Amino acid sequence: MFGWMGKLLRVSLSLGKIEEGEFPREWRETYLGGRGIGAKILWEETPANCDPWGEENLLIFATGPLTGTGIPMSGRFSASTKAPLTGTIFDSNCGGDLGVRLKGCGLDMLIISGCSPTPVYLVIDATGAHLKDAVGLWGMDIPATKAALKQKEGDTVSILTIGPAGENLVRFACCENNGRYLGRGGVGAVMGAKRLKAIVVKMGERKTSIADGERLRFVIYEMRKWLEANPVTSQGLPHFGTGVLMNLMNEVGILPVKNFQRVSSPQAALLSGEEVSEKILLGQKACPHCPVACGRVTSTGPERGEGPEYETLWALGVNMEVYNLSLVAEANYLCNRLGLDTISTGGTLACAAELAEKGIFRGGIKFGEGDKLKEMIENIAYRREEGDLLAEGSYRFAEAQKVPDTSMAVKGLELPAYDPRGAQGQGLAYATSQRGGCHLRAYMIGPEVLGVPKMVDRFEAEGKGGLVIFQQDLNATLDSMVMCRFSSFAVGDDYYARLLASVTGLDYEPQDLHVIGERIWNLEKLYNLREGIGGDQDTLPPRLLREPVKERVVSLETMLEEYRRFRGWDKKGKPQKEKLKRLNLLEEKNNGKGT
Ligand code: SF4
- What CATH code is carried by the domain that includes residue 16? 3.60.9.10
Atom of ligand 1 nearest to the CA of 290: 6
Percent of the chain with pLDDT over 90: 94
Count the neighbouring beta carbons within 10 Å of the beta carbon of residue 453: 10
Instruction: List pLDDT tens digits, range 526-570.
Output: 999 999 999 999 999 999 999 999 899 999 999 999 999 999 999
**Omega of the bond prior to 453 within 30 degrees of 0, cis?**
yes
Label residue 184 by pLDDT band (50, 70, 90).
Answer: very high
Residues 294 and 398 in one domain: yes
Query: Is 59 in contact with 81 (CB distance < 8 Å)?
Result: yes
Residues 578 and 536 in one domain: yes
Label residue 594 by pLDDT band (50, 70, 90).
Answer: very low
Q: Would strands 158-161 and 196-201 be described as parallel, antiparallel, or unpaired?
A: antiparallel
Nearest CA to ligand 1 atom 4: 484
Residues 345 and 331 in one domain: yes
Residue closest to 99 by CA, chosen among 129, 128, 64: 64
Task: Tell me, in angstroms, the distance from the centre of ligand 1 to residue 75's CA.
Answer: 9
Task: Tell me, in angstroms, the distance from the centre of ligand 1 to residue 317's CA.
Answer: 23
Q: Which of 414, 429, 463 is the last residue of a domain?
A: 414
Q: Would strands 59-62 and 109-113 be described as parallel, antiparallel, or unpaired?
A: antiparallel
- Please report, to the nearest 10 degrees, the dihedral formed by the alpha carbons of residues 515, 517, 519, 522 taken in order: -130
Residues 426 and 397 in one domain: no
Residue 227 lies in a domain: no
CA angle, residues 429, 431, 435, in degrees to nearest 5 = 85
Query: Is 91 in contact with 34 (CB distance < 8 Å)?
Result: yes
Is the backbone of residue 182 left (phi > 0), alpha (psi -120 to 50) or beta? beta
Mutational test site, ligand 1, from 181, 242, 289, 292, max ligand atoms within 8 Å of CB:
292
Question: Which residues does a 6 A CB cutoff place in the pocket of ligand 1?
Answer: 73, 95, 237, 286-287, 290, 292-295, 484, 486
Query: Is 386 in contact with 392 (CB distance < 8 Å)?
Result: no
Count the neighbouring beta carbons within 10 Å of the beta carbon of residue 516: 24
Query: Is 351 in contact with 290 (CB distance < 8 Å)?
Result: no
Query: Is 149 in contact with 157 (CB distance < 8 Å)?
Result: yes
Label residue 5 by pLDDT band (50, 70, 90).
Answer: confident
Task: Tell me, in angstroms, the distance from the centre of ligand 1 to residue 589's CA.
Answer: 37
Residue closest to 339 by CA, chosen among 201, 177, 200: 177
Residue 1 lies in a domain: no
Atom of ligand 1 nearest to the CA of 285: 7
- Taking residues 346-352, report their average pLDDT: 98
Q: What is the dihedral sign for C-alpha 46, 51, 52, 57?
A: negative
CATH code of 444's domain: 1.10.599.10
Which segments of 401-446 does DSSP mark as H helices, in order?
A: 424-432, 445
Residues 341 and 355 in one domain: yes
SS3 label, residue 93: strand
Residue 212 lies in a domain: no
Residue 548 lies in a domain: yes
Could you give the number of structural domains in the chain?
A: 3
Phi, psi of 114 (to 5 degrees): 70, -175
Atom of ligand 1 nearest to the CA of 75: 5
**Three-state secondary structure string covering 515-538:** HHHHHHHHHHHHHHHHCCCCHHHC
Atom of ligand 1 nearest to the CA of 286: 7
Q: Is the pLDDT confidence value at 470 over 70?
A: yes
Which pLDDT score, from 0 to 100, does residue 222 have?
96
SS3 label, residue 316: helix
Residues 391 and 517 in one domain: no
Q: How far apart, in Å, do the first and last CA atoms of the chain sit? A: 31
Nearest CA to ligand 1 atom 8: 287
Label residue 588 by pLDDT band (50, 70, 90).
Answer: low
Q: Fill in the amino acid letter for 480.
A: S
Which pLDDT score, from 0 to 100, does residue 593 have?
44
Residue 319 lies in a domain: yes
Q: Is the pLDDT confidence value at 276 over 70?
A: yes
Residues 407 and 456 in one domain: no
Task: Tell me, in angstroms, the distance from the centre of ligand 1 to residue 319's CA.
Answer: 25
Residues 283 and 194 in one domain: no
User: Could you tell me the CA-to-CA distances from 574 to 432, 529, 534 in Å, in that order?
Assistant: 12, 8, 8
Task: Tell me, in angstroms, the distance from the centre of ligand 1 to residue 237's CA.
Answer: 9
Residue 534 lies in a domain: yes
Nearest CA to ligand 1 atom 5: 73
Task: Tell me, in angstroms, the distance from the centre of ligand 1 to residue 556's CA.
Answer: 32
Containing structural domain, residue 292: 238-414
Task: Tell me, in angstroms, the distance from the centre of ligand 1 to residue 189's CA.
Answer: 25
Mutational test site, ligand 1, from 66, 69, 71, 73, max ligand atoms within 8 Å of CB:
73
Instruction: List pLDDT tens digits, range 411-463.
Output: 999 999 999 999 999 999 999 999 999 999 999 999 999 999 899 999 999 99
Residue 444 lies in a domain: yes
Residues with Cβ < 8 Å from 441, sequence gap 6 or more? 429, 432, 433, 434, 435, 471, 472, 475, 476
Which secondary structure element, helix H or strand E, spans residue 470, and what is its range? helix 464-481
Task: Tell me, in angstroms, the distance from the centre of ligand 1 to residue 557's CA.
Answer: 35
Residues 514 and 407 in one domain: no
Q: Please tell me the distance from the alpha carbon of residue 27 to that of residue 6, in angstroms, as a whole number.
A: 9
Q: Which of 380, 414, 448 is the last residue of a domain?
A: 414
Task: Tell me, in angstroms, the distance from the centre of ligand 1 to residue 285's CA.
Answer: 8
User: Could you tell me the CA-to-CA distances from 556 to 373, 421, 531, 541 in Å, in that order?
Assistant: 34, 10, 24, 11
Residues 136 and 157 in one domain: yes
Q: Would strands 89-94 and 109-113 be described as parallel, antiparallel, or unpaired?
A: unpaired
Mutational test site, ligand 1, from 92, 297, 486, 491, max ligand atoms within 8 Å of CB:
486
CA angle, residues 487, 484, 173, in degrees to nearest 5 = 150
Q: Is the pLDDT confidence value at 517 over 50?
A: yes
Task: Tell me, in angstroms, the distance from the centre of ligand 1 to residue 574's CA.
Answer: 35
Per-chain mean pLDDT for the chain:
96
Nearest CA to ligand 1 atom 2: 294
Q: Which of 394, 414, 434 is the last residue of a domain?
A: 414
Q: Please tell me the distance from the alpha carbon of residue 241 to that of residue 246, in angstroms, as a whole number.
A: 11
- Angle separating helix axes 464-481 and 493-504, nearest 10 degrees: 30
Residues 424 and 410 in one domain: no
CATH code of 302's domain: 1.10.569.10
Residues 405 and 462 in one domain: no
**DSSP label at residue 315:** I
Q: Is the pLDDT confidence value at 267 over 90?
A: yes
Max distance between CA atoms of the chain, in angstroms, equals 66
Q: Please tell me the distance from the alpha carbon of residue 90 to that of residue 199, in angstroms, as a whole number.
A: 20
Task: Tell me, in angstroms, the distance from the centre of ligand 1 to residue 568's CA.
Answer: 34
Atom of ligand 1 nearest to the CA of 233: 1
Q: Would strands 175-177 and 304-306 be described as parallel, antiparallel, or unpaired?
A: unpaired
Q: Is the pLDDT confidence value at 495 over 80?
A: yes
Q: Please tell me the distance from the alpha carbon of residue 476 to that of residue 431, in angstroms, as a whole number.
A: 16
Residue 375 lies in a domain: yes
Query: Is 444 in contact with 559 (CB distance < 8 Å)?
Result: no
